[in-house]
Structure 1
Amino acid sequence: MSNQHKLNLKDLLSGIIDAPPIAFNDICDDSRLVNKGDVFFALKGIESHGCDFIDSVIDSNAAAIIYEPPYELAYSENRIPIIPVDNLRCLLGEIANRHYDYPSKSMNIVGITGTNGKTTVAWLIKSCLNNMGYTCGYVGTLGYGIESLKKISLTTPSCISLHKILFNLSKSGAKYSAIEVSSHAIEQNRIAGIEFDSVIFTNLSRDHIDYHNSMEEYGAIKARLFTKIKSKVKIINISDSFGKSLSNQIKEDVIASSIKNIESSNYEKFISLEEKKLEEFGYTIRINSSWGNKEIFLPFIGEFNIENSIQATALLLSYNFSLNEVSDAIKKCNPPPGRMQLIQLNKNYDLPKVIVDFSHTPSSLNLAINAIRDHFHNRKIWCVFGCGGNRDRGKRKLMGKIAEENADYIVVTSDNPRNEDPDTIILNILEGISTDVRTIKNRSEAIEYAVMSADEKDIILIAGKGHENFQITKNKTIEFSDQDISSEALKKKLDNIQND
């Protein structure tokens, strides 16, 4: 991978630190991905430092190593230049921009942040633009790309990786890119150097308290995308109390969005829900906005997806697309993988409906169950869920309480236990549940149990993993898909019906 304007190391670090004018191929901040001739940037992480892996980097024939002090190097004679740079993490955005020729300047970059809804809003923006004949890239939880997506390990990649992805998207013809921006990415300067045209705030609720220590800190970090980083358009969900406060704080360049009525005199630009009609699998809504009023069909389950769709619509209207163009584009969209995704085996047989969703926070689980309740009246709802290991322990009993209050049947299971004991995690969840419920540690068995036990009219929510195709247990990552397991269980149930 080479940039458009080939630099040597001295040029790359000009004005930052004096470096030898050696040639190099690419830049990298992951020791596992270093190739011959690359410059490796070693940063201090949460649990380790990039310098811990210097041996493997040198063995990969790297051209140079730039590292973030303090770090005690064990080398007295270096085979390659190893250069300390203070505040390297803060400078990495400019360095990546120099190497990749400022890729965000060539596109309209949209950054979406919030606890829930980032993936769906970004996906809808990408899908609508593609439906209207424009090329839009996507970077987020589902991966990155334009049509087929490549997997990434983080919602928002590392700073160098993100610039490289945007460079490749631009080279592939993307004129727009929708990026999910996590709180970790903001805090760790992963979006440094990115020029955002527009930013969107979805909502704020409990998540990542294991990292951010408090909701106040979590919210303050999210707010930086709007208060510390320049953008032309700021779309903020004022139905959310934190969003309302944020919009009052910013005032300029704000488009207010809400599923409640907005007083047009309070905002120069706004979009809100005027009325909604529940359909068999979606909604017909009427929006009121500073661009006019319009009836739109949304092929998605859940009132929260009305909120997501309104924000995507606001973004497209801000780019001067018409209400008719947006309406035609959004009705052709599919929900993103693992977001209220219906798993349906055979419409000719009466089988329970299975819905796979990424809901892994108390608020998102509550929204998912109640969305199903709204769409499927008088049906019994099963909820199969667990909680991630080595993550916010405080939300476990809250999710148990929400499941008990809203679902008819509960199966508590495992969901990426990581290095924690799965039985302990399940016990933490049960602290929020006052009645006897089924606990099945093996997630495959838990899903099969729910499918085989459910009545043909029941709805089964498989919550927590969504699009993920893996399960993390101890230090092992194994292939695992809620969609595949659910489909197999439905096939088994169908075979039993046909053989009776």
Structure 2
Amino acid sequence: MRLSDLLAPWFHYSGVEEIKNISLDSREIKTGDLFIAVPGHLVDGRKYIEVACTQGAIAVLVHTDNPAEHGQLVPESYACPQILFFQLSRQLSAIGAQAYPLGAERMKLVGITGTNGKTSISQIMAQLMTLVGERASLMGTLGNGLWGDLVDSGNTTADPITIAAQLQTFNQAGAALCAMEVSSHGLIQGRVEAVPFDVAVFTNLSRDHLDYHGTMQAYADAKKRLFKFSSLQKGLVNLDDVVGQQWLSEMPSDKLYGFSISPDHQDKASIYTLDNHQHHLGMTATLVWPEGKETLESPLLGSFNLSNLIAALGALYLLGYDMTSLVSVVPLLKPVAGRMERFTRDDGVTLVVDYAHTPDAIEQSLKALRGHCIGQLWCLFGCGGDRDKGKRPLMAQAAENFADRLMITSDNARSEDPRTIIEDILVGLRLPLKALTQVDRELAIKQVVALARPGDLVLLAGKGHETYQDIAGERLEYDERALAKTLAGEQK
């Protein structure tokens, strides 16, 4: 694409430069690329213009807050022209869509937002699509790419240019769908502003990211932005969450649908379950939707995974897929990596690795696992450093209320002393002396496994799919799933 064509929707540019690629990271710039220099949350890209030009950038778009400078060239250029662009940081998604168009015959796009469940829902959707013979793609916490070939993404929601480029790649590769996790940060920062979502899904809202949003209302408002996209055909909200109930009453009923696994909300839900039953291999339920009902046999653990499954089925149903065909392949689903992932020892002790790292997620995970546990229910967890400290005692309360035994340990202490974080957690316990503590997370897990008895279930909460511990500025290699797998093969 020529730079003049890329910029045509905003202003006339007379240059004839051909762009190879576009990037916001000067380190990725190669000869013929366009560098976009904008102020970021942590780094100002305008400081790296000279670096980008030296590396062969064909031109640089430069953020300015002065409307009079829009479309002008910077007089003192380096080795490449610098073009000023008014409030460029707000136009990145639109620029991405202009540079990497999807075309008229494009795949369907589903955006999933909420505190918990985004990853599981997107992964379940991709699995279901694959099982019924369709190609599906994903963008989110566990990586971006076609199902079965994900590449680590770094963030839940990537930068706008990367999103647009990857969506075009998935579309050209023949994907019928992209299920995208959409974070509150990504919505506030406009990273998906020009993505033409067909269906939006809301999972739930509980305390998280208040260090960024400030209040729960601001956090909810950020999530709600996804449901205001002009491209949106339909929305799906969780009626077992009070925010979902509010949104259903506020938004147009012909566009918004509700789902539920609770008998309390079936009167307003379009898609819901009856006769939910937990057993040691998963769950069974009766799925009801406007045109029918079917028995659902899910191999996934926990009631909240039933909710995630219903959300995934519901989103595909709203896109026009046959529900009966989808339900028929549900028994073939595999657990999502690090999401209620089970590892069972020969002696009957079960380890469950889960990403639960908020008070609500801890509560929901423990409630869900109680029905699968015949012995004592253990909870091992920690809290992240340099994050919302008010969450720490709340995590403790949730764990104490719903587990029989507690082990408090480290979880990405970052620059903080992990012992101080543990002390902050202990403040939230009624009986702090009953909790076990161990700063070294791997050692803590081994201690709990040594103490556990046949029939006990141990929730290893917080790390999930992550393969590192962030401690004192270093990312140390640490794979809890691999550790659990190893320990599950050990004999006492």
TM-score where L is the length of structure 1: 0.92
- Rounded Cα–Cα distance in structure 2 between residues aligned with 1:334 and 1:156: 24
Mapping for residues 2-401 of structure 1, pairs under 5 Å: 7-19=1-13, 20-70=15-65, 76-102=76-102, 106-146=106-146, 147-251=148-252, 252-261=254-263, 270-344=270-344, 349-377=346-374, 379-401=375-397
Q: Write out per-residue CA displacement over residues 300-333 of structure 1, whole angstroms, 9 at most, x where no aligned residue.
A: 1111111111111212222333332011122211
> Which amino acid in the other structure matches residue 13 of structure 1?
L
Q: What is the letter of the counterpart of residue 210 of structure 1?
A: D
Query: Does the CA-based 8 Å contact 2:373-2:455 persist in structure 1?
Result: no
Partner residue in 1 for 2:445: 447
Alpha-carbon distance, 1:253 to partner: 1.0
The residue type equivalent to 1:16 in the other structure is: W
Task: Please give the per-residue CA displacement for 1:88-125, whole angstroms capped at 9, x wherever unaligned.
Answer: 12222221112112369611000011111111111111
Q: CA deviation at 1:405?
A: 1.8
**413, 429, 436: which one aligns with 1:433:** 429
- Asked if structure 1 preserves the Cα contact closer than 8 Å seen for 2:59 and 2:81, the reply is yes
1:64–1:419 distance in 2 versus 1, CA, 3 Å: farther
Letter paired with 1:198: V
Equivalence for 1:4:
none
Q: Structure 1 residues 138, 224: closer, same or farther in 2, change over 3 A?
A: same
1:372 is paired with a residue of what secondary structure? Answer: helix
Structure 2 distance, partners of 1:186, 1:177, is 17
When normalised by structure 2's length, the TM-score is 0.93
Match of 1:419 in 2: 415
Q: Could you tell me how far 1:453 is from its partner in structure 2?
A: 2.1
Taking only aligned residues, the RMSD between alpha carbons, in angstroms, comes to 2.1
User: How far is the alpha carbon of 1:228 from its aligned partner?
Assistant: 4.3
Shift of 1:237: 1.0
| Larger deviation, residues 311-320 vs 352-361 | 311-320
Shift of 1:198: 0.6
What CA distance in whole angstroms lies between the structure 2 residues aligned with 1:214 and 1:397? 18
Q: Whole-Å Cα distance in 2 between the matches of residues 164 and 97 of structure 1?
A: 8
Question: 1:159, 1:116 → 2: CA distance?
Answer: 23
Asked if 1:405 corresponds to 2:372, the answer is: no
AA aligned opposite 2:125? I
What secondary structure, in the 3-state scheme, does the structure 1 residue paired with 2:295 have? strand
How far the C-alpha of 1:151 sits from its partner, in A, is 0.2
Q: CA deviation at 1:43?
A: 1.9
Q: Which amino acid aligns with 1:220?
A: D
How far off is 1:145 after superposition?
Answer: 1.4
Please give the alpha-carbon distance, in whole angstroms, between the structure 1 residues aligned to 2:488 and 2:340. Answer: 18
In the alignment, what sits opposite 2:70? none
Moved more, 435-444 or 129-138: 435-444
**Alignment check: 8 A CA contact 1:351 1:457 kept:** yes
Cα distance in structure 2, aligned partners of 1:218 and 1:11: 37
Superposed CA offset, 1:135-191 (max 9, x none)? 110111110112121001100111011111111111221011100011001001110
The alignment partner of 1:375 has SS state of coil
For residue 484 of structure 2, give the secondary structure of its aligned residue in structure 1.
helix
Q: Deviations over 1:226-284 (max 9, x none)?
A: 134431111111121111111111123112111234778757xx111222122222111
Query: What is the identity, as a one-letter code, of the residue corresponding to 1:477?
Result: R
Is the contact made by 1:451 and 1:486 (CA closer than 8 Å) also made in structure 2?
A: no
Stretch deviating more after TM superposition (140-149 or 322-331): 322-331
1:458 pairs with one of 445, 456, 459:
456
Where structure 2 has 5 or more consecutive residues not aligned to the other structure, the ranges are: 67-72
**Cα drift, residue 431 of structure 1:** 1.2
Distance 1:264 1:336 in 2: 27
SS at match of 1:390: coil
2:69 aligned partner: none
Please give the alpha-carbon distance, in whole angstroms, between the structure 1 residues aligned to 2:47 and 2:230: 32
Write out aligned runs for 1:468-487 (5 A).
468-487=466-485
| 3-state DSSP of counterpart to 2:257 | strand
Cα-to-partner distance string for 1:187-245 (whole Å, 9 max, x where unaligned): 01110211011111111111100000000000011111113443111111112111111
Distance 1:440 1:70 in 2: 50
CA distance in 2, matches of 1:430, 1:391: 17
Judging changes above 3 Å, is the alpha-carbon distance between structure 1 residues 15 and 230 closer, same or farther for their aligned structure 2 residues? closer
Gaps of 5+ in 1: 1-6
Q: How many residues align?
A: 481
What code does the residue aligned with 1:371 have? A
CA distance in 2, matches of 1:327, 1:120: 17
Render the CA deviation track for 1:465-485: whole Å, top value 9, x for unaligned. 101111112322122111122
Amino acid of the residue matched to residue 399 of structure 1? M
